[in-house]
Amino acid sequence: MLDIKFIRDNKDLVDAGAKKKRINFDVNKLIEVDDKRKELLQKVEELRAKQNEVSQKIPTASDDEKATFLEEMKNVKADLLTFEEELKPVMQEWQALMLQVPNIPDMSVPEGGEEDFVEVRTYGEMPKFDFEIKDHVELMTKADMVDFERGVKVAGFRGYILKNDGALLERAVENFVFDEMVKKGFNPLIVPSLVNKQTLLGTGYLPQGEDDLYKTQDSDYLSGTGEVGTMAFYSDEVIPKEKLPVKFIAYSPCFRREAGSHSKDTKGLIRVHEFYKLEQVILCEASHEETVQFHEEILANSEDLMQKLGLPHRVILLAAGDIGLGQVKKYDIEAWVPSQNKYRETHSASYFHDFQTRRLNIKYQDGDKKRYAHSLNNTAVALPRILVPIVENYQQADGRIKVPEVLVKYIGKEYLGTIQE
């Protein structure tokens, strides 16, 4: 959420930002509603002040004066009720419009949509195979690492069950990433996936993203990322400045309906309804320079993990039309998937300035002032998606899968599966 004073003072900038993000938002409509809101608020406040003024006079007034005051109060009360009733729908409309105001993308963010990203850098050599490449579905099924048929039987469409070496591989990656991120100074959390509506509004996943969320019969939601529960950790709190930056590595189960993606990646582990994430989240001072520095840091953390896993990948800077409502700038990391002969997204690193913290009311004490903190997040690892590039890049001619060197100590062996005829 942007500050209404900033929006009014920078109407053209907000309008240009919405257009750059390809978001249809009428800034003039918001200002029109805000004018009405301010007008009615002023009337309500004047009448409440009048009530207080007269209430203080009544105890010392004569009987005749009291009668006059009481009659006057009847009219004030009636007018106050009228304006309060007028204000309610205006406030509702104003709040709804404020939640739709997109954050302004950084000047370094390119124009365009999904296909207009800028490749920042690449890492690693694509593996060369002297045998026919298999995809992760065939590799893991033959190695008895996954069961898709029983996964669908148990969970429905996009269901899966990791088993044997598949379960061991996923757990090894989790432990490896947790260990690495804690060594980098991030505080470990295990956060809820079951969250309330306010938490999702605060992080910007409502109201726009509701179609992709699972909802309970009690009107709570299942979150699609650990960022949601982690960001709400400090909601409605004031953090002492000396505690900043706050750095979390948060683990949680995640759930996404994949609305609008019914024909995409219907087989395998790339796009599933239930998965697990380790998420980097940082809260820092309200400094653009510091935020940019931390944005590069969390990106570098994930690149370091990918490099230690030995996975060829690239970093891309997303275009404005492909980033979310609250994001100022966003990088993706994409891993090389040999069977598809292309890179696939595995990580997303974003910063928001105070967009989320205003919604969640997260401040820090800066001398005599309280300021809204800045927030950033990036995937440390998403599972089981990361298993796809691991098993495909490390596949062997005999059907086994070589274990990345950094994971051997967690699994206790160098190859997964058995030699196939």
Catalytic site positions: 256, 271, 345, 348, 385
The whole-angstrom distance between residue 366's C-alpha and the CA centroid of its chain comes to: 26
Omega of the bond prior to 89 within 30 degrees of 0, cis? no
> Residue 238: what residue type?
V
9 phi and psi angles, rounded to 5 deg? -75, -20
Beta bridge partners of 282: 247, 376
Residues β-bridged to residue 152? none
Cβ proximity of 298 and 291 under 8 Å: no
Give residue for tokens 């404005």: 320
Residue 61, class by beta-carbon neighbours within 10 Å (0-12 exposed, 13-18 middle, 19+ buried)? middle
How far is Cα 167 from Cα 115, in angstroms, rounded to an integer?
35
Pairwise CA distance, residues 159 & 151, whole Å: 4
Q: What is the DSSP letter of 326?
A: S
**CA 197 – CA 110 distance, rounded (Å):** 33
Four-CA torsion 414, 419, 420, 421, nearest 10 degrees: 150
Strand partners, 374: 284
- Which stretches of 124-245 are assigned E, i.e. beta strand? 146-147, 161-162, 187-190, 194-195, 214-215, 221-222, 237-240
